[in-house]
Structure 1
């Protein structure tokens, strides 16, 4: 077929390709979600006529038919971490037929004089099992390209494309070293983010054993605080009592904002370890419900989320001390509109509590 015939056929079938783009993009998103892989984005595009014409008219290219063009429809999956690139690739190889002869891992083929790194490019098409479905049958024989790369790889590729330099030979000498340093920093950052991710996963995995064996050594952070409120029997019991008191249907999942505020308040009160929090809760727990009956008596829409008792534990502890200045200091770690008024209201509510 001539270039004109290929372009004419593409114009006639453009609706098929745009439909393929839409259907496959949705499918990729659903598959990634189902596999529980966190990605930054899934984007797609169908070539326009000008882009196709430019591609098939290159002297180095030779196409006998429209379907010889493997990237008429393209998808880009941007992951947060570099190891997720391979996880996504494995998922795609399970769910699609991958044309390995036309696919390329540009991370491995990167030449020494290139800056940065590129993405994994897979050429695929829908498997025969999916093509039997009425909504997919029209896509038989159409290949498409799926690019997968981390968000930092994507950032480099976009900037590199905008600047226009692809090898060290193309870069003016005064700028060459700066390019190299930047490429190295991005690669290091990618590896460090990956290492931090593994570190967090390891910390979470070992946290139960550490809490069980040596709680006095466990520092308070969002991870240890989250584990504590989900496993401590006294926390679970008092929050169930709160749920019944305010007629809530069920305990909702911990709210990050509430946990963050509670952590900030506790730290400002000098509570920095899990053992210290456990002791404080043991000392103050009997006051929490009586305080709430006064503090929230007019609030009919209360949501009892896991960990909310720690927020009110803070209020009770500040109220019992009755020090306005100290209360304002502790509460100032959160963006309340009127810290002074809140501190005053907490102390006043405590005066009405009957123990």
Structure 2
């Protein structure tokens, strides 16, 4: 005989704080790990601790007989929603390397031909042993969690079908089946076309030639030149290349040759100014510099790539001024 509702409730209350701590720690680490691999999310990571009533209802609906509440694997739950289908494999690998995965399931694989569902990958996991050796995580050992991984299109379908309760084709009014099928197909097509954009972009970038002086500046040619010519440590994760491009256009810099010439001419000056600002920040006791600038200065940098290009342009066009470098 399994636990009574009263015993389940008692165990839940005893462990609720631990589960809340678990989702806080794991969410923080997931954000760090994804940022390290430059994975862009469609939405912030979702994290929740399942409410007691939901657990009791699940036990009732599925006739679960628990010996311990820890047998429920999704009390702590996370959802990671990525932009591109190819990111699914990248994030899956991150999870395999950093968590103890004891079960992985692609929801699409369990659907029959007449069932609706837009696949997401589910991981049942616990923290790795080395995580639990740290003071902040030592009491979280063996706590189970579920991590769902899907694309934005998959998320739209999951949310929509949940609201409509369209799980199986025979449950849908005949008059609506065609439009529902079409909606599902369109969302799948969105995923495929986004992936095609990535592939086409990679092909384009691989063909960029700095020797073509008439090559028009665009987002990709600009990124290519800046990545090659500027110090990598100054680059921010989310450089605003569209803003940089519009400012360069305002100076009349519209092709590769003009950009490369002015960077060649003034890059040493910009790097020197960067170091001067680093020294200013590190020796200043005033509130003139915010925490972000102070943190960057501690690593020996001040300007982002946007800041460097603005410094370079000001050298030749001193009357034009921009802020927020």
Instruction: Provide TM-score, normalisation by structure 2.
Output: 0.72
Offset, 1:229: 5.9
Of 73, 76, 85 in structure 1, the residue corresponding to residue 79 of structure 2 is 76
**1:51 lines up with 2:54 in the alignment:** yes
8 Å CA contact retained: 1:43, 1:77: yes
Structure 2 vs 1, CA of residues 34 and 222 (structure 1 numbering), >3 Å: closer, same or farther?
Answer: closer
Matches within 5 A, 1:119-138: 119-138=120-139
Contact 2:222 2:241 in 1 (8 A): no
Give per-residue Cα distances to partners, 1:118-148, cap 9 Å, x unaligned.
Answer: 2100000012222222322212222110001
Q: Alignment length, in residue pairs?
A: 275
Larger Rg: 1
CA RMSD of aligned residues (A): 3.6
Residue 300 of structure 1 corresponds to none
Secondary structure, aligned partner of 1:115: coil
Q: Structure 1 unaligned runs (5+)?
A: 237-250, 286-302, 317-355
Mapped contact 1:104–1:120 kept (Cα < 8 A)? yes
Distance apart, 1:110 and its partner CA: 3.2
The answer to whether 1:256 aligns with 2:255 is no
Contact 2:45 2:79 in 1 (8 A): yes
- Note closer, same or farther for the CA distance 1:264–1:189 as it changes in structure 2 (3 Å cut): farther
* Distance change (3 Å), C-alpha of 1:153 and 1:279: closer
Instruction: Provide the C-alpha distance between the structure 1 equivalents of 2:92 and 2:180, rounded to a whole number of angstroms.
Output: 29
Change (3 A) 1:279 1:44: closer
SS at 2:94's partner residue?
A: helix
Contact 2:77 2:145 in 1 (8 A): yes
In 1, Cα distance between the equivalents of 2:112 and 2:160?
A: 19
Look up the match of 1:117. Answer: 118
Tell me the CA shift for residue 86 of structure 1: 1.6
**Deviation string, structure 1 residues 184-229 (Cα, Å, up to 9, x no partner):** 111011111111122223322332xx233x444x333222234456
Question: Would the aligned equivalents of 1:258 and 1:307 in 2 still touch at CA under 8 Å?
Answer: no
Q: Give the equivalent residue in structure 2 for 1:99.
A: 102
- The answer for unaligned runs of 5 or more in structure 2 is 266-302, 319-325
Structure 2 equivalent of residue 221 of structure 1: 218
CA distance, structure 1, for counterparts of residue 248 and residue 66 of structure 2: 63
